[in-house]
Each structure stands twice: as structure tokens, then as C-alpha cells.
Amino acid sequence: MSDPGFTVVIPAYNYGHCVERALRSVTAQDYPAFQCLVINDGSTDDTLDVLARLRQAGECFDLLDQANAGLAAVRNRGIDEAKHDWLIFLDADDEMLPGALRAFATAIATAPQAAMVIAAHDSVFEDGRVRRVTPPVIPDNPEQALQDYLFKRFSIANGACAMHRRGFSAIRYRPEMRQTEDIPVFAHVLAHYPVISTRDAVARIYKHPQSMRNDIAQAHRVGMTLEQVIFEGSGLPQWAQALRARYRGKRALSLVKLCYRGKDYAGVVTYWRQALAVMPLMALSPRYLRRFLISVVRR
């Protein structure tokens, strides 16, 4: 059986200061069949200049330039432009580890029917700490796999997962979602296709305050509509609706944590009350009740 081919898509928006690290980590992969595709999403910094310099220096990659449309639109274009069947979306502020593509290929060889491979990765924090995040064995039962993902028994990091293009045959990323746009897609794939994991680490994921993961304004724009997108807009089977109310509470509590960390105390109060309506025991637990009471005073 021939080696699977990979397209690594690097979305780049105002990441001129670090896109070189991401790109070189891909082009240095010792693997026979892969494409490095960088999509510049209307950057206003020196991202294009950096990429031009790298190309002149002999780095081999494909470059697409477009007006700013957001991460979801970039991912969709990457799917359309990819030359290979397996796609990896690597954020421009992260990097692949040596041997990453071979690790993915080895995992795929054990389960050719799989539509997604979730790998281990290293989370790198601003203070220099590094934490290895290793996925568990993904349940063969799609109901259990989806439940485990939605309720955070395992996580999926872009850059540390590879998805076969057939997983996108009935779903795409929602361009109006400028944050958490990957969650409905991951949910859809877990509910409909075999998914496997590998303990091999394939990426370094950098944690920093400027990351879109910590953008409170974007989190507010998405808010509780994420629940609707997952359970009504991602083609989940009917059995998945049994998870919806519980997920609503979990989503609200996630927003409580994010808002509290960002000192958005009004947001804490709003989302805590929504969580209380569906998960009263969890909302009234000391860690969440304390955040709520502090926020009531400080808002």
C-alpha cells in the first residue's frame, strides 16, 4: 500500500513574526508525499515579505493570497486547494515536530478506514513550561466518542490531527464563526466516521494571550450559538440530541471561565445564570459559585 499523501495548510494572518518557524517545520519533514500550502488571509504586517524571502531562499511551498475572510474561510479554501487526501491545519504560531507526517502515516496504516487521526502534542506556555497532551484510545462507538469529546474527556488540537477529505463531504467550516469553528466539524467527523489516536507527538502548540483561543470579543460573538451550530447545523445523527442540554450547560460554564479570566464580569454573570438553568449542581459548585459572586460585586 502506498504512503498516504498529506496537505499541511498554514493559515497566516499578521503572523510575520513567527510564520517562518511554522513553515520550516513543515518543509523539513522527511516524508515522500506532502504539500505545504500557506494561505495569507489579508495580512497587513510583513507576512507576505517573510514568505517571499523564504521562497527566494529555496523553501518549497504553495502560496495563496486572499482578502481577509477569517480562519474558517481559509480552512475551506485549503480543503478545495489541497493536492492530497489527508489535511492538517497548522496554525502559523505553532510548529510540527520532526517525523510528524511519518507518525500520522504509521497510525493510518493500522486503520485505513479512519477519517481522522488525533495525535499527541506539546503545549508550550509563555513561562517556558512544556506539557505533553496525549489522547486516549478513541472509542469505536461513535456515540461514546462524540460524548467524550463534547464533555472534554479528550481534546483535539489543529496541527495535531489529520483529517481525510471524505470527512468534509457533508460539512464545511462556518465562515461567520471567527472562533471555535472547528468544534462542529470535529463533532460531525466523530459521529459519522472511524477515528483513531496515536501517542506519538506531532506538534508544538504555543499558548499565549494573543491567541484567538483567548479572544473574549470573538467568544461573545459566538456565545451560546455554538450549541445550535453543533446540534442543528453539523448533520449530527438524531441520537446526538440526547447530549444537547448537558452540552448547553458545559458551554455556558466554559464561557464563565473565559470571561472571568478576562475580567469580563458581566459576561460571567450572564453565562453562569444560563448554566444554572440546566446544570444547577455544577453551577453551584464552589469554583463556579465563587466566580459568580465575585463578578456580581465587580461588574
Q: Is it the case that residue 52 has pLDDT exceeding 80?
A: yes
> Can you read off the three cell numbers belonging to residue 192?
459519522
C-alpha cell at 280: 444547577
pLDDT exceeds cutoff 80 at 107 = yes
Of 256, 248, 250, 269, nearest in space to 219 by CA:
256
Residue 217: the pLDDT is: 79
pLDDT of residue 208 exceeding 80: no
pLDDT at 209 over 80: no
Tell me the pLDDT band of 13, cut-offs 50, 70 and 90.
Answer: very high
pTM of the model: 0.94
Under the banding of pLDDT at 50, 70 and 90, the label for residue 287 is very high
Average per-residue pLDDT for the chain: 95
* Beta-carbon contacts of residue 241 (< 8 Å; ≥ 6 apart): 231
Which pLDDT band holds residue 213 (cuts at 50, 70, 90)? low
Give percent above pLDDT 70 in the chain: 98
When pLDDT is averaged across residues 64-83 and rounded to a whole number, the result is 97
Mean pLDDT of 37-41: 98
